[in-house]
Structures are given as C-alpha cells and as structure tokens.
Structure 1
Amino acid sequence: MLGGLQRQLSHQRHLVASEVGFLKQYAAAISAQAWGSQLTWQPQQTWQCQQEIEKGWKACVLLVERNEVLMAVRGTYSGAQLPLTLWRWGVVDNSHWLSTPHGWLDFCPFAEVPRCQLPQ
C-alpha cells in the first residue's frame, strides 16, 4: 500500500513541477512581449529580431501586409527544454509597436511552416 502511495506522490510531484515550469516559461514570454513592445522597429517582409540575451528574451516582427505586422516573442528560463512562442498582431507606427485589440494568437497564423520559424 505504501509503495502505491509513493508512486502516486511521485507522479503528482512530476505534474506539479511540469506545471510550474510552464508558468515560468509563460511569464518569461510575457516579459519578452512587454520588452519587445517598447523597442523601435523597422518591419520588413522577413523576420526582424532583437534579443535580450541575459534574460533569454527574443522579440521578432514581420511585415505581413501594408500596415499589418506580426510579433512573435520567446522567453526562456534555465530549466526549459523548448522555448514558448507567443504571437500577436499589431502595427508599427513611427517605428513603435502598437498591439491590435484582440490580436493575440494561440499559434502561428501561416500555413507555410518556414514562415513560422524565427531566425536563430
């Protein structure tokens, strides 16, 4: 009976650690988005990226149409295996990022996988 209880406890501990890891990664990505929103940008039809290496943040913008820009951000922390990418529609006005209301995306909006890959 104690062996079964120990296995359940170990499994629950693993689930909690996984959830905590995701929350840390999400917080890092949100921080990267806030940081990227304050940078100056000259969007082009290829990804333009800026990094904050110390914090593990990366923000990229891509001009999709005349005044429609997509921002992709990544935030990592020391225990993360893969980065979490957040996507958001917006515009760049006078080199400054402005988020579009309700512009959050849960995934890359492009059907072509190469367009979703950020430069290294």
Structure 2
Amino acid sequence: MRQQKGMSSLMLVLLMLVLGSLTLQGMSMQHQSQLRQTTLEQRAMQDTVNAESLLEEGRMFAWKPEPGDRCRDDTDFAGRVCLRIFSDESALLIANSGEQYRWQTGQVQKGILQFDRSGWSDFCPRKEVLQCQLP
C-alpha cells in the first residue's frame, strides 16, 4: 500500500509539472504575439512621423512650378516625397513612408507654388485615386 501512495504522489507531481509547463508555454506564445503587435504598432507610428516630416520637408523645398511630376527620395525619413502639378495649375504634394501616405493640396498662382492652409490629409483629396499615387 505504501508503494501505491508513493506512485500516486509521483503521478500528481508529474501532472503538476506538465500543467505548469503547458501554462508557461501558453504564456510565452501570448507574450510573443503581443511583442509582434507592439513591433508593428511601433513601425506604423514611425512611418507616420516620417511621412509627416517628409510632407513638411516637401513644402519647404523649392520645386519648379511646372506641370508634371517631380520626386525626391529621402534616406533620413525612409521615404519619398513627390509633387504633382496638373494642367489646371492645381498641385498635390505626396509623401510616403512605409505604408503611410500624406497629401497636401496647393495651387500655382503667377508662377509661384502655394500650398493650401488647410493642412495635410491622410486620405486622397482628389476624385481620381490614381492621381494620388506616387509616380
């Protein structure tokens, strides 16, 4: 009988070890999932900041106020900023970093490029979506 009680205790200890191991494994998987999510969110926030910085840099750059597309790549902000001037002399500044885009509308008046005071947009301000894509 004593031998049976010893086996029962040993089985109980082994069961507790297995359950503890499974619990730790589950917690580890949950932690890894949360870490991946945090990394994705951090990358999205950095891309957002970069896109807004690129847009501001593009606003300050001395672009030629002629119809067509012009672009600049920027390694500091890991992205690209492009100016598109349409035949009606309206303008669109497009900034991109990662999956984040920002747009700023403007107008060429008397040969001078002026951006609208309404600020940037995080959605395409043109009816034709293709006009908002980077060249």
Q: TM > 0.5 between the two?
A: yes
- Inter-CA distance 29–97: structure 2 relative to 1 (3 Å threshold): farther
How many residue pairs match? The answer is 112
Percent same amino acid at aligned positions? 25
Is residue 2:106 matched to residue 1:90?
yes
RMSD: 2.7
Q: Highest CA radius of gyration, 1 or 2?
A: 2
Q: 1:91 to 1:84 in 2, by over 3 A?
A: same
Following superposition, the deviation at residue 118 of structure 1 comes to: 1.6
**Equivalences for residues 68-107 of structure 1 within 5 A:** 68-75=90-97, 82-92=98-108, 98-107=114-123
Where does the alignment leave 5 or more consecutive residues of structure 2 unmatched? 1-22
Gaps of 5+ in 1: 76-81
Structure that is richer in helix per residue = 2
Aligned-partner Cα distance in 2 for 1:96–1:49? 18
Residue of structure 2 in register with 1:18 after alignment: 40
Deviations 1:26-54 (A, max 9, x none): 121122112111111224443222233x3
Residue type of the alignment partner of 1:49: C
Q: Is the 8 A contact 2:67 2:89 kept in 1?
A: no
2:53 match: 31
